[in-house]
Amino acid sequence: MAHIYFLGDLLVEICDKTTRNNQYPVLTSSKSGLFLQEDYFTKSVASKDNTGYKIIRKGEFTYRSMSDSGYFFINRLECTEIGIVSPAYPVFKVKDEKIVDPSYLAFFFKSETFNKKISLMSKGSTRLSLKFKDLRKIEINLPSLSEQQEVVKVLIQTNNLSSVFEKKYKNLLDLTSVKFLELFGNPVKNSKGFETRKMIDVVSFKPPKKQINKAVWWSLNLDMIESNTGRIIQKVFVREKDLGPSTYYFNTNCVLYSKLRPYLNKVVCPDEDGFATTELVPLQPSSIIEKDYLAYLLRTSYFVDFVNTASYGAKMPRAPMDQIKNFQLPCPPLQLQQSFCKFVDEVEKLKKIVEKQIVNSNELLEIKMEEYFE
């Protein structure tokens, strides 16, 4: 028989903090899970001194307590025995594993049922927050421990199917990146010796003029973009009057580049018109630069490192736009760029197939979770 509990009855907050710099590896919490920061970004991007960061141990939970999209991703540490997260991240664990299986709770946190509950608890006008004290007030319908363990078995099997497709998707991304480096080399050093031009001379940094009217518009925020891939995690559509002042229009000719926290490597080639936060810079390549060539160049680790080295701001680093505008952009022959774009188009067709498989497997997981957690 199931019983209703407040999460506060099941969880205990942990506030252990480091006493010296680099005491443990820094972790990054994302929609996809909790990762070692050096693996997720290929380098550490935390503040230089991480003394006072919160310590999290394997099996414990954490999450980023601020959100632009309204979604909060609570993750359980599985990739390492111990690590550290920002002091702003709540860290907690299960009080008694004889009452609740932590794996059952991890799936509950990913369910739409949980998302609906936290949408009523989160606070803020533009950026929403979810404090641990508010998380404690959420109710959960908890079956017996043996029933929880059976549910976990089913959900793990379903989730493994999604993981297979995610791996296929990553392999396709890697294939395109390898092709880029094969054709164009290191764009920062211009290792292939192409003619170069200042980026601002061949790429416009101004948003295009809106040519059409719509009842609703795609509204793109940073939280809705996957790091390193540019994949859109979530599409939100709103009426134009509800867009807010800090947005601008973009179209499919643009490459959108995130100037906030450039180490996150968020570069988007939009597939339809919309409005974006002003933290995304609209880049419109001229006739001698192909859009896909520019996007993949911006995503290379070489360019990300180049920008990170010159970024400014301790807590929320920003890309040095003047330096980017004056970057000596390699301008390969248009025919070579177009051959790369043709390759990208073929890979994109395969990616769309795999994306559909990912969506279908995720929907199956969501259906299963709603069946158990509703």
CATH for 205: 3.90.220.20
Is there a single domain that holds both residue 199 and residue 137?
no
Convert the pLDDT of each residue in 141-161 to its tens digit.
999 999 999 999 999 999 999
Mean pLDDT confidence for 338-351: 96
Is there a single domain that holds both residue 88 and residue 203?
no
Among the three residues 141, 168, 187, which one is the final residue of a domain in this structure? 141
Is there a single domain that holds both residue 215 and residue 315?
yes
Per-residue confidence at 103, pLDDT binned at 50, 70, 90?
very high
Per-residue confidence at 197, pLDDT binned at 50, 70, 90?
very high
Residue 123 has pLDDT above 70, yes or no: no
What per-residue confidence (pLDDT) applies to 304?
96
- Core vs surface per residue 191-210: b (16+ CB within 10 A) or e: eeebeebebeebbeeebbee
Q: How far apart are CA 178 and CA 181, in angstroms?
A: 5
Which residues, including other chains, have CB under 8 Å from residue 153's CB and lie 6 or more apart? none
Per-residue confidence at 118, pLDDT binned at 50, 70, 90?
confident
Out of 5-14, 71-80, 191-200, 295-304, which region has the weakest mean confidence (pLDDT)? Answer: 71-80
Percent of the chain with pLDDT over 90: 76
Is there a single domain that holds both residue 113 and residue 230?
no
Domain with 19 in it = 3-141
Among the three residues 141, 172, 207, which one is the final residue of a domain in this structure? 141
Q: Exposed, middle or buried, 72 (CB in 10 Å: 0-12/13-18/19+)?
A: buried
What per-residue confidence (pLDDT) applies to 25?
93
**pLDDT, greater one: 112 or 315:** 112
Q: Could you write out the DSSP letters of every residue in 7-20?
A: HHHHEEE---B-SS
Among the three residues 126, 141, 156, which one is the final residue of a domain in this structure? 141
Percent of the chain with pLDDT over 70: 95
Amino acid letter at 197? R
Q: How far apart are CA 173 and CA 299, in angstroms?
A: 11
What per-residue confidence (pLDDT) applies to 42?
52
Which residues, including other chains, have CB under 8 Å from residue 356's CB and lie 6 or more apart? none
Please indicate, yes or no, if residue 151 is contained in any of the structural domains: no
Question: DSSP class of residue 210?
Answer: P
Hey, what are 332's tokens? 């390969």
Mean pLDDT confidence for 10-34: 92
What per-residue confidence (pLDDT) applies to 70?
73
Residue 120 has pLDDT above 90, yes or no: no
Is there a single domain that holds both residue 20 and residue 133?
yes
Is there a single domain that holds both residue 126 and residue 54?
yes
Question: DSSP class of residue 216?
Answer: E
Out of 36-45, 230-239, 269-278, which region has the weakest mean confidence (pLDDT)? Answer: 36-45
Per-residue confidence at 47, pLDDT binned at 50, 70, 90?
low
What per-residue confidence (pLDDT) applies to 45?
55
* Of the ranges 132-136, 166-170, 254-258, the best mean pLDDT one: 254-258
Q: Is 278 helix (H, G, I), strand (E, B) or coil?
A: coil
pTM: 0.70
Is there a single domain that holds both residue 106 and residue 210?
no
Please indicate, yes or no, if residue 61 is contained in any of the structural domains: yes
Please indicate, yes or no, if residue 75 is contained in any of the structural domains: yes
Residue 58 has pLDDT above 60, yes or no: yes
Per-residue confidence at 122, pLDDT binned at 50, 70, 90?
low
Is there a single domain that holds both residue 296 and residue 225?
yes
Tell me what the pLDDT averaged over the chain comes to.
Answer: 92
Q: How far apart are CA 115 and CA 113, in angstroms?
A: 5
Domain count for the chain, please give it: 2
What per-residue confidence (pLDDT) applies to 156?
95
Is there a single domain that holds both residue 8 and residue 136?
yes
Mean pLDDT confidence for 286-291: 97
Q: How far apart are CA 365 and CA 147, in angstroms?
A: 18
Residue 113 has pLDDT above 70, yes or no: yes
Please indicate, yes or no, if residue 168 is contained in any of the structural domains: no
Please indicate, yes or no, if residue 146 is contained in any of the structural domains: no
Mean pLDDT confidence for 311-339: 94
Q: How far apart are CA 364 and CA 370, in angstroms?
A: 10
Is there a single domain that holds both residue 120 and residue 210?
no
Q: How far apart are CA 162 and CA 167, in angstroms?
A: 9
What per-residue confidence (pLDDT) applies to 174?
92
What backbone phi and psi angles, to 5 degrees, belong to 187? -70, -25
Please indicate, yes or no, if residue 158 is contained in any of the structural domains: no
Is there a single domain that holds both residue 121 and residue 222?
no
Per-residue confidence at 124, pLDDT binned at 50, 70, 90?
low
Is there a single domain that holds both residue 209 and residue 126?
no
Please indicate, yes or no, if residue 361 is contained in any of the structural domains: no
91-94 vs 61-62, strand pairing mode: antiparallel
Please indicate, yes or no, if residue 218 is contained in any of the structural domains: yes
Residue 43 has pLDDT above 60, yes or no: no
